[in-house]
């Protein structure tokens, strides 16, 4: 069977969408249940219970759908990289679900909350990468180009999702009082600079490439929006109470866009490594 089945691709997109909904619900739970400087439960009990219900339900459904996606990939005899992404996503989703249940039932150390947030990013990002790798034209695209740049684009492809994941960790560390906000702000500038440099380079050097150019532009736009949302959230925390509607909305949007940023970054990394080949100097 072909791994470029349109239905496999559509199913992967659907699973990614469900994962994103679970992340939105989880961000809402976090914003209401454990605000940065407030009491443990600061939101209305009815809203908190409703958010928890939808977070658990969508998370559980997404994990079940993820099992189906892994089985589908194995039955379609997908390449090892694609199957590996599937297993990583499934493992991250299952561990994240277990941690999430413990976080709700009892107050645990900040490291548990941070790991829960980190695994959520990995879960969504890997599914997004699977959606890209099962799209039409993945194996029949343009001839891979020689990667002669220094540093190589293939190296930068690894650096982009890695630094985005670091930014997620720093953001979660700030929310759960493990680190100050300064580290999160400083790394945000580094993330934005690196992504803009990669995006501008790809757009200028490969203006007609059918996949790398739009993927680079998409990542640059999402990252710019994410940085603006981060600044807006920080200002809202100064101006309004943490449980106010404005702060909750901006916080949820910031977390959600952060997931989209990592998904777009990992997808671009996969596309770069698929469309380039490293030239070794002799």
Q: Which residue has the higher pLDDT, 143 or 135?
A: 135
Give the separation between CA 37 and CA 40, rounded to whole angstroms: 9
Largest Cα–Cα distance of the chain, in whole Å?
Answer: 67
Banded pLDDT at 177 (limits 50, 70, 90): confident
3 state SS for 189-258: HHHHHHHHHHHHHHHHHCCCCCCHHHHHHHHHHHHHHHHHHHHHHHHHHHHCCCCCHHHHHHHHHHHHHH
Q: Which residue has the higher pLDDT, 103 or 69?
A: 69
Give the separation between CA 32 and CA 45, rounded to whole angstroms: 9
Which pTM value belongs to this model? 0.88
* 88: pLDDT strictly greater than 90: yes
Q: Which residue has the higher pLDDT, 132 or 34?
A: 132
Q: 3-state class of 147 per DSSP?
A: strand
Q: Which residue has the higher pLDDT, 278 or 23?
A: 23
* 15: pLDDT strictly greater than 60: yes
Summarize pLDDT for 145-163 with one digit per residue, the tens.
777 777 788 888 899 999 9
Asked if residue 93 lies in contact with residue 123, where contact means CB atoms within 8 angstroms, the answer is yes
When mean pLDDT is compared over 61-65, 110-114, 270-274, the highest value belongs to: 61-65
Note if the bond before 151 is cis, omega within 30 degrees. Answer: yes
């Amino acid at each position: 069977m072909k791994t470029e089945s349109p239905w496999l691709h559509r199913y992967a997109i659907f699973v990614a969408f469900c994962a994103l909904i679970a992340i939105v619900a989880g961000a809402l739970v976090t914003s209401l249940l454990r605000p940065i400087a407030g009491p443990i439960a600061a939101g209305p009990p009815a809203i908190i219970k409703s958010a928890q219900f939808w977070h658990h339900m969508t998370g559980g459904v997404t994990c079940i759908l993820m099992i189906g996606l892994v089985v589908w990939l194995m039955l379609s005899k997908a390449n090892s990289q694609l199957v590996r992404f599937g297993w990583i996503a499934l493992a991250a989703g299952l561990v994240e679900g277990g941690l999430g249940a413990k976080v709700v039932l009892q107050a645990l150390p900040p490291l548990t909350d941070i790991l829960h947030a980190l695994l959520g990013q990995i879960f969504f990002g890997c599914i997004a990468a699977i959606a890209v790798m099962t799209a039409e034209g993945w194996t029949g695209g343009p001839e891979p180009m020689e990667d002669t740049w220094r540093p190589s684009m293939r190296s930068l492809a690894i650096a982009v999702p890695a630094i985005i994941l670091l930014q997620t960790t720093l953001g979660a560390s700030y929310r759960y009082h493990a680190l100050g906000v300064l580290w999160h702000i400083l790394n945000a500038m580094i993330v934005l600079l690196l992504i803009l440099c990669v995006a501008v380079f790809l757009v200028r050097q490969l203006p007609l490439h059918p996949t790398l150019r739009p993927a680079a532009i998409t990542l640059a736009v999402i990252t710019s929006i994410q940085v603006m949302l981060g600044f807006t959230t920080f200002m809202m925390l100064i101006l309004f109470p943490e449980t106010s509607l404005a702060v909750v909305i901006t916080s949820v949007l910031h977390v959600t866009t952060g997931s989209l940023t990592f998904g777009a970054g990992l997808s671009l990394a996969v596309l770069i490594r698929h469309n380039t080949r490293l030239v070794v100097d002799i």
